[in-house]
Amino acid sequence: MCGIVGYTGSREAFPILIKGLKRLEYRGYDSAGVALQHASGDIVVCKTKGKVINLESSAQGKDLSGSLGIAHTRWATHGEPSERNAHPHYSESGEIAIVHNGIIENYRELKRALESEGYSFQSDTDTEVLVQLIEYTKKKYNLSLFRAVQKALGSVIGAYAIAVIDKSEPQCLVATRKSSPLAIGVGNDNQEFFLASDPSPMIEYTRNIIFVEDGDVVELVPGKAPYMETLSNQVIEPKISNVTMDLGMIEKEGYPHFMIKEILDQPRVLGDCMRGRVNTELKEVILSAMVDHRERLLSAERIIIVGCGTSWHAALIGKQLIESLARIPVEVEYSSEFRYRNPIIRPSDVVIAMSQSGETADTLAAIQLAKEKGAFIYGICNSVGSSIARATDSGTYIHVGPEIGVASTKAFTGQVTVLALLALCLGRENGSLEPERYTRIIDDLLILPERIEKIFEQKERIEQLSTRFTYAHNFIYLGRGINYPVALEGALKLKEISYIHAEGYPAAEMKHGPIALIDEEMPIVVIATRDKIYEKVVSNIQEIKARKGRIIAIVNEGDAQVAKMVDYVIEIPEIAPELEPLLTVVPLQLLSYYIAVCKGKDVDQPRNLAKSVTVE
């Protein structure tokens, strides 16, 4: 969950580290800190509770010069957010400093052993145990920093990505990972190196990236090629990838928040998602995964989709699309539950792993479990070179660009778009999908960006409407069929950024309990588009109005029937029913955004959350 940055080279490290932390702040913002090897040779640590801007303020007037440093922005796991628990942590002698993303499961046993050797601890974190263990190992066996890290981690159980510096080894940066992401940027013919949890802090300096694999230990010294070994001393040849990323995608570009920028970016990025996959002339969908693994995918007796949070909601839509268009049974599982409940997985199954970051710890564990059972693993993620992308047998990138706002928006619609493309491919190839229906859905996919743009014409009206609901303590979201997961997603967005309690329900389930909550103070959002169960939803609306609920309805353009019954309507254009979630979710994203803004909340960095959940 935390973000780590490192630099070694000839430039001043502090400005690079601070800029990098700001780009990684979506990973956590409970506290932040830097450790620099000062020109005097000492390691200087500066850290503070709160966001990176607090760290900048704290650093004002301090001599933080030096060309080797590590930095951290924290999402708290062990120990409450505070300056004493902020990273970097340093060893008892002050000679070694460390930053860490992950959780050390056996830190209590290690801590007791170190205390018996005379070590004392200044924080409540598991990370401080790591740096003390590295120092103890280094001194006991008279090792270099690289060898001490390598040997010390042999007794560590848990997940980690770490970067370590040592006063006695100027310009040397040592790093390693297990189940937490880590990337290295190689600059100026090995004259400088960058280190980060993902490539975003590095791409303005270099596009040459090494994605560190689990168990790899790397030593970075300017002027030398990166040196890598496994924990078991096997030498590794670094693999350098060229990463393309639009810098504008990780900057606000004049928008007040990343979230609104990313909502409004959806027409363009969904076009990017479909580009090269939807042939506009032949009206057909082509996925390289279907070309390369056609027989394996078509022979699937069952598909299991695993994901967490927003990805799970997208998976629920994917289930309905695949079952409807390809007639293959689909189950949807929370990754966190799937891995622990001894699921039945057969070699004939295809497991689709959904994750925006490609680093979700629970989803990675679910992949490993499914692999052990012989299933074929298909990844759908956004981050090129991520752990999930590397761990799967095949897959499809959603290609919506970096998503910085913690509350996911364009990643959700990107995932649903890819699932629709996959369902179309499967249905066409196995003969379950009628040609006329196939062509009709493709036609509507091609006009999807302009349909979303049309919804944005109501942006100001949705903003005005949002001011009327800042008083609310509870919301109910209702949808049926393929729009039920959209109700779940709308409720999640409101919870995440406005801290209003919200629940999503299938509309027909309202009378089985939630109807007891409805009164004249309760806002209810109802997705009431003209589909085959439209009249059923109209009946649900009447039940709510009989109890004086305040209804916001998402309707198709020109729907006068529902408009007469509800308090407020937001219209969406007509589109193929299979693609409706890609439109109905957009007003809900805007509604949650503007309510949170009206309440004065920190939209991009809501409390207690982080973008990439890389710990259990």
Catalytic residues: 2, 611
Residue 88: is the preceding peptide bond cis (ω within 30°)?
A: yes
215: left (phi > 0), else alpha (psi -120 to 50), else beta?
Answer: left
Contact 394, 367 (CB under 8 A): no
Contact 386, 360 (CB under 8 A): no
Spatial neighbors of 290 by CB under 8 A, at least 6 apart, are 297, 422, 425, 426, 429
**DSSP bridge partners of 74:** 31
How many distinct helices (H) and strands (E) make up the chain? 21, 27
> In 261-408, which ranges are E strands?
278-279, 284-285, 302-307, 330-334, 349-355, 376-381, 394-397
E strand or H helix at 557: none
The terminus-to-terminus CA distance of the chain in angstroms comes to: 10
* Polymer length of the chain: 616
E strand or H helix at 108: helix 107-116
Contact 205, 217 (CB under 8 A): no
Q: Could you tell me the two tokens for 419?
A: 């699932």
Alpha helices in 384-525, H assignment, sequence order? 387-391, 410-430, 435-446, 448-455, 459-466, 484-498
Helix (H, G, I), strand (E, B) or coil at 442: helix
Place of tokens 């940027």: 185
Q: Phi and psi dihedrals of 175, rounded to 5?
A: -145, 155
**DSSP bridge partners of 43:** 37
Exposure of 616 in the CB half-sphere (CA atoms within 13 A): 15
